[in-house]
A = this chain, B = another copy of it.
Amino acid sequence: MGETKRIGILTSGGDCAGLNAVIRAVVFRAIGTYGWKVLGISKATQGLMSRPPEFVPLDIEKVDRLLTAGGTVLGTTNKGNPFAFPMADGQLVDRAQEIIDGYHLLGLDAIIGIGGDGSMAILRRLAQQGGLNLVTIPKTIDNDVDITECSIGFDTAVNTATEALDRLHFTAASHSRVMILEVMGRDAGHIAISAGIAGGADVILIPEIPYTIANICGKLRERQEQGKDYSLVIVSEAVRTETGESISSTDPSGQFRYGGIGQYLANQIAVCSGAETRVTVLGHVQRGGTPSPLDRLLASAFGVAAVDLIAEGHYDRMVGWRDRQVISVPIAQAIAHYCVVDPNSTLAKTARGLGIYLGD
């Protein structure tokens, strides 16, 4: 099985369902098959920035129960680009070298980074600058990482959003209301379009396609004329109006602003349609929870494959999922483009084909 290695693993960016299942698979493969050492780095790159570096030695016993556990036992953070790290005094400082030094202080042969688009770009820059042997695993509830069909956490988030629509359907119909469900997705509407189709929404609003309030209300009127006096609207947390105005429910740090897009729409729809409206902001329940079987499967496959890439000395690569197989590509290729909802994709055509209003 070749020489014994010492590898690190970290989770970066917003948490999601399936991270722990990746950690379990990495440990099972690296220790169970290869007999390596695995260090769990605490709180993303901040664990490497600390002195001494903060980590937990991982073993099979510690990760055995993690398959179904949401979140990440390593902790994570989406604060702080290490190349412009916000200090207590408000200054932005380049702390990249501290992280690189942390990697070498721990004597790591390689590191597996689980993160989204942004995290992978940062990790790759660190790896290039500091000689880190890096393999990455895509995770994001927004599913906006390119190349791979799915990233970890997306399927679970879609399930949660769909279940919320299922519930709202009944209460909307009982009270003849327009129910608005606001879901995550600042830059890509994958959750909204997938859950919207699966949950039977009448209107789906996503960042990629501008909408007009007049056409939303036209759709609601069309339903009323068919004898349906209630409707379901699903909206991404940030969308654009016809005038190009961008409306977002979150500030750049991800903190929700109530009275955001969901409430804004509720007010506008109430005015133009005369309907009673109610808003639900699903928030962080989309991130947590037991991972879906598909997310556990992806997590297991990605974890094993990432360790195998290290065993073969293939670095600077991201694993991905395509056609029910794991693939791997250069990280640079994966982060070159941001994967948004294509207005001519199957899902967009499906939504329109079902008569759903998806913007103009």
Contacts and interface: CB of A to CB of B under 8 A. Distances in A.
A162 B324 contact: no
B278 A255 contact: yes
A169 B300 contact: no
A343 interface: no
A72 interface: yes
A292 interface: yes
B71 A293 contact: no
30 contacts: A11-B174, A15-B174, A17-B170, A32-B354, A60-B226, A67-B200, A70-B169, A71-B174, A163-B293, A166-B288, A166-B290, A167-B284, A167-B288, A171-B284, A195-B293, A197-B296, A197-B300, A198-B294, A198-B297, A199-B293, A256-B278, A258-B281, A259-B259, A278-B283, A278-B284, A280-B285, A301-B346, A301-B347, A304-B354, A305-B346
A51 interface: no
Contacts of A259: 258-259
Nearest to A325: B346
B293 A350 contact: no
A291 to B, nearest CB: 9
Given A33-B353, A256-B279, 18 more contacts: A15-B171, A25-B354, A33-B355, A71-B173, A72-B174, A75-B176, A159-B292, A164-B285, A166-B290, A167-B289, A168-B285, A172-B288, A179-B284, A197-B296, A281-B283, A301-B346, A301-B347, A301-B350
Contacts of A198: 67, 293-294, 296-297, 300
